[in-house]
Structure formats: structure tokens, C-alpha cells
Amino acid sequence: MQRRLFVFALAVFSLVATSCGKIRGQRDNSSSALRPTIVFITDFGTANDAVALCKAVVLQIAPDARIMDITHQVTPFQIEEGARDLVSVSAYYPAGTVFLAVIDPGVGTSRKAVIVKTKKGQYFVLPDNGLITPVLDRDGLEAAHEITNQTWMLTPAVSSTFHGRDIFSPAAAHLAAGWDYTIAGPVVPQLVQLSVRKATIEEKGITGDIIGLDDPFGSLISNIQADDFRALGYEVGSKVSFQLNGKTLVLPFGKTFMDVPVGDSLLYQDSRGRIAIAVNQGNYSKKFSIEPPAAIFVPRKGAALRH
């Protein structure tokens, strides 16, 4: 009898210990514990209710979804800028993530609203205007479907100017809720391709563009890749003579901002492997009244500048 009581007590203790282990943070790998993630980017800004309306639509359909923001401050209508942010951030999210991307100057026209699945297993809900191009260049395309099925939209009326609320947000929410994207509409065999500006490498040096600002710091971001820049003969500590919008400048190439005194300027490699121009603890764009687009030319080390 005593042995039976001991065995029973041991079983109860084991059950309680297992339960406590889960309570204290053991990961539950059941599918019910996994919350779908929607990652959101727009050029809507934050001075109006547009972003909040889109999120409200998502949560009506998929109340368990987590909505993460990339930014809503993409320069209005700048598809290439939005594409850079989208390809940069999507690299850090896992398969199954839903990206809701609305930079859509062609809203209300014949441009398609699409769901794109990459070979990485991520989903992108966005206008077919090239916004997805850099992602597909990196990850590859599994399939794309146009959103034509009205059950994926807010009905009965769809605004001609706010597809972010009425088409893209509900479609992203339905994906997060587990709907099959292949029933959203017909296959899109060919997506619009974005013509991304690339730096030109020549015998005399590299010709590129200032393609954006690292706000709020005002650093100028170029499309010159750091590896190509170093191939010209430059290394950290080099003094670099280059031309910015035809004006000759001489700046040090630094590893980080504090390589120069506060208030001084430098060239550096940004976190995405591009050459950029900054002021240590200042705003280069405001200080020198220069914004993109702008032309930049960097000669090979020791070579003459253009005249």
C-alpha cells in the first residue's frame, strides 16, 4: 500500500513539474501558439489616419496577427526607395512572413494588385509596379497571383484612391489567417520590373548616384558598392578626391563617424555595404543644401578628376 502511494505521489510530482516547466517559458511548438506576422511599409506618412485604418482592417480579419512596421515615411511615390527598404528588411524575417507594401502612385489605374510568393516562402502583397524587383532578384519567384477575388477585398465598394485599405490590407490579413493565395485571382506570368539605378565602373573610376538620405541624420547614400570603391585603391584613412554634382570635394574615408572631429565630414561604408557621406554629429544634407538625386564620381586612387 505504501509503495502504491509513493508511485502515485511521484507521478503527480512529475506532472506538476512538467506543467511548471511550460509555465516558466518552455517553448510551445504547437501551431496554435504561432502568431502570423505582417510587416508593413508605406509612403502614407503619419500625419493622417491612413496607417491606422489599414491596421484596423487587418485586425478585423486576423485579430491574432502581429503587425510590424518598417516605415511609413518612404518619400511619396518613390518606388525605388521603398524597394530598397523592403529588400533590406525582408532578409531578416523567416518564411511565412507576410509583407504589406503600399507605395502606389498608380492607384486606381490598370496596374495590378498582386500577391507574390518567393522561393524563400515569404508573401508580398503590393502593387505590380516594380516594388518587388530587388526581393525577387535575391530570393527568386515561386508564383504571383492578381487579387481579383472580391472575398479578399473590403466590399461592396472599393475606393479608387485607397487600395491600401480596401485591397492590400484585407488580402494581407487573409493570408495571415491562413487563406490559400492561389484563390485570390489568376496567375500573373510576368511582373513589372523596376529599373534600379546602378553605378557604372570604368577605367577612370566609378560614376554613381546619390539615391537616398539616411534620415534623420541627413547622410547621403550612394549606389556605389563599398567593394567596388575599395577596388579603386582606397582604404580606411585614405583621403579621397571626388566630385559631387560636379563640385570637387576631398574627404577622408573612415570606418565610423568618430574617425573625424565633431562637425567634420567623411566618406564611410554604411550598414548595407554602400558608400555614403556624413557629418559627424551633424546633418550633411542640411548643412550643404544637397538632396537626392545627385551625381557622384570617384576616380581611381591617384587618377585625375573629370574636367
pLDDT in tens, 58-116: 999 999 999 999 999 999 999 999 999 999 999 999 999 999 999 999 999 999 999 99
Per-residue confidence (pLDDT) for residue 4, from 0 to 100: 52
Question: What is the C-alpha separation between 172 and 57, in angstroms, rounded?
Answer: 10
Pairing of strands 239-244, 294-299: antiparallel
Q: Is the Cα torsion angle 92, 95, 97, 98 positive or negative in sign? A: positive
Q: What is the pLDDT of residues 223-241, one digit of tens each?
A: 999 999 999 999 999 999 9
Domains recognised in the chain with CATH numbers: 32-183 (3.40.50.10790), 200-299 (2.40.30.90)
What pTM was estimated for this model as a whole? 0.83
Task: Identify which of 290, 115, 122 has the alpha carbon closest to the alpha carbon of residue 188.
Answer: 115
Instruction: Give the residues of the chain that fall short of pLDDT 50.
Output: 5-32
Per-residue confidence (pLDDT) for residue 306, from 0 to 100: 73
Per-residue confidence (pLDDT) for residue 59, from 0 to 100: 97
